[in-house]
Amino acid sequence: MKHTIRLAAAATLVLLSCNLFSFVVAPRLAEGIWQQLGITQQDGADKIKKSFLDGYFHYEGLKAAKNIGNRGKATADLLAYTRQYLASPAFKAAYDKMRKDSKPSEPVDYTRPKEQIRQDKIADTKKLIASTENTINTGNADMKKIMQPILEMHKKNLADYQSPNSQTIEMLFQSQLDRRKKELEDYKKYSLQWEKEYPEDNRIFIKRRIQKYLSLTATVDFSATTHERNGKQIFDKQEYQYKNNDWKMIYRAGKEVDDVARPFAEKWIQELQ
């Protein structure tokens, strides 16, 4: 597997998994990296935002990146711009919107008083009785024979619903209470998960991305060798073939990129403590 894979892929994986550095980059520096990548600065900012928020790399239109010579320098430049952008009000606004849009909605309370359930069941059953009686009165003998037991069942149900001690009404009432309780429990659980996944302070979100990158890159074997099979590069060590795409992306970018990205990430983690 050649180490000449997209520099931008690796660098943006870093920004996606680590990121955010908040010193101001000179316009000349920012302009230079976008020219090398073959995209505009606005396109770059959009890719950074989407990649970071979505959790996967948006690399559309970055074909020129494979031709970059000094990948270490380009990585540093891209991370520097990323650091600036992710500290900006624009990114914070995008994060806040994503956080708000992801917030679980409290379930609507559709529970009804017991007597309301009773009256609804009575009304519905009376309609069924009237419809069944009409079918019996207008149908032939065979139809009457079929529908008569159904009519008796409806009348029996009606008497049950009208009884003050109806076990069916009690069961329906308790069932909706149980359902409501479960809905609120789920809402509480999902709300806690949401608060953990999308903390109000976006720097915590960023810190987790950095930690994810550092944990993953620590497992990458940059000395791994490959061979070609059916036009594809395959790892000689079979277990590496089953690594996830992020692991392989870091490997393909090479140690040159990681040697720049990892110290960046480690320093940022220290500053976020």
| Whether pLDDT at 3 is above 60 | no
All residues at 6 or more sequence positions from 156 whose CB lies less than 8 Å from its CB, including other chains: none
pLDDT confidence of residue 60: 64
pLDDT confidence of residue 17: 36
Q: How far apart are CA 200 and CA 188, in angstroms?
A: 17
For the record, the structure tokens of 100 come out as 């708000």
Structural domain spans, the chain = 7-103+200-272, 114-194
The SS3 call for residue 235 is: strand
With a pLDDT cut of 70, the percent of the chain lying above it is 80
Give pLDDT tens digits for 178-218. Answer: 999 999 999 999 999 999 999 999 888 888 887 888 898 99
Which residue type sits at 269?
A: I
Can you tell me the mean pLDDT for 75-82? 76
Q: What DSSP line would sit under 40-61, residue for residue? A: -HHHHHHHHHHHHHHTS---TT
The DSSP call for residue 228 is E
Q: Is the dihedral of CA 242, 246, 249, 255 positive or negative?
A: negative
Q: How far is CA 269 from the centre of its chain?
A: 24
Give pLDDT tens digits for 112-147. Answer: 999 999 999 999 999 999 999 999 999 899 999 999
pLDDT bucket at 55, cuts 50 / 70 / 90:
confident
Can you tell me the mean pLDDT for 250-254? 83
Give pLDDT tens digits for 23-45. Answer: 233 344 455 666 767 777 777 77
Cα 154 to Cα 120, 124, 146, 158, 201, distances in angstroms? 14, 10, 14, 6, 59
- Is the CB of residue 85 less than 8 Å from the CB of residue 31? no
- Is the CB of residue 207 less than 8 Å from the CB of residue 272? yes
DSSP-assigned beta bridge partners for residue 226: 235
